[in-house]
């Protein structure tokens, strides 16, 4: 799964990261955007994981509306955290399209 990236944190394979992102991101905010966008999203996460060892998926992009913080091992660092009850905006209906 990992090979040393030269920046201190092991590099996650694109395939493993893609599987993780498919599980944790909304389809409409990931795969539905097309292959070039998926490659760009993977690259952005790879860059952050290589630099800092961790990254996040915003609550707007996550499948359950909660922030997902994960590390270079693709371990969900929020797995044991109580979900946050964010107020919703009743006038905003784009969530119905997901």
pTM: 0.75
Structurally, how many domains does the chain consist of? 1
Domain membership of residue 13 as a residue range: 2-78
Residue 79 φ then ψ, to 5°:
-60, -35
In a domain, 90, yes or no: no
Q: Please tell me the distance from the alpha carbon of residue 52 to that of residue 57, in angstroms, as a whole number.
A: 15
d(CA 63, CA 68): 10
Q: What is the distance between the alpha carbons of residues 19 and 51, in angstroms, rounded to a whole number? A: 21
Could you state, in chain order, the average pLDDT of each consecutive group of 10 residues for the chain (98 residues)? 60 96 93 92 95 94 92 90 69 57
Domain-located, residue 92: no
Q: Is residue 87 part of a domain?
A: no
* Burial grade of 12 (CB within 10 A; 0-12, 13-18, 19 or more): buried
């Amino acid at each position: 799964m990992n090979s040393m990236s030269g920046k201190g944190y092991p590099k996650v394979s694109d395939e493993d990261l893609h599987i993780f992102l498919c599980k944790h991101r909304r389809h409409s905010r990931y795969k539905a955007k097309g292959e070039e966008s998926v490659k760009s999203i993977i690259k952005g996460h790879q860059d952050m994981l290589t630099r800092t060892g961790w990254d996040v998926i915003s609550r707007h992009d996550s499948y359950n509306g909660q922030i997902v913080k994960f590390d270079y091992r693709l371990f969900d660092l929020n797995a044991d955290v109580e979900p946050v009850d964010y107020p919703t905006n009743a006038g905003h209906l784009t969530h119905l399209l997901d």
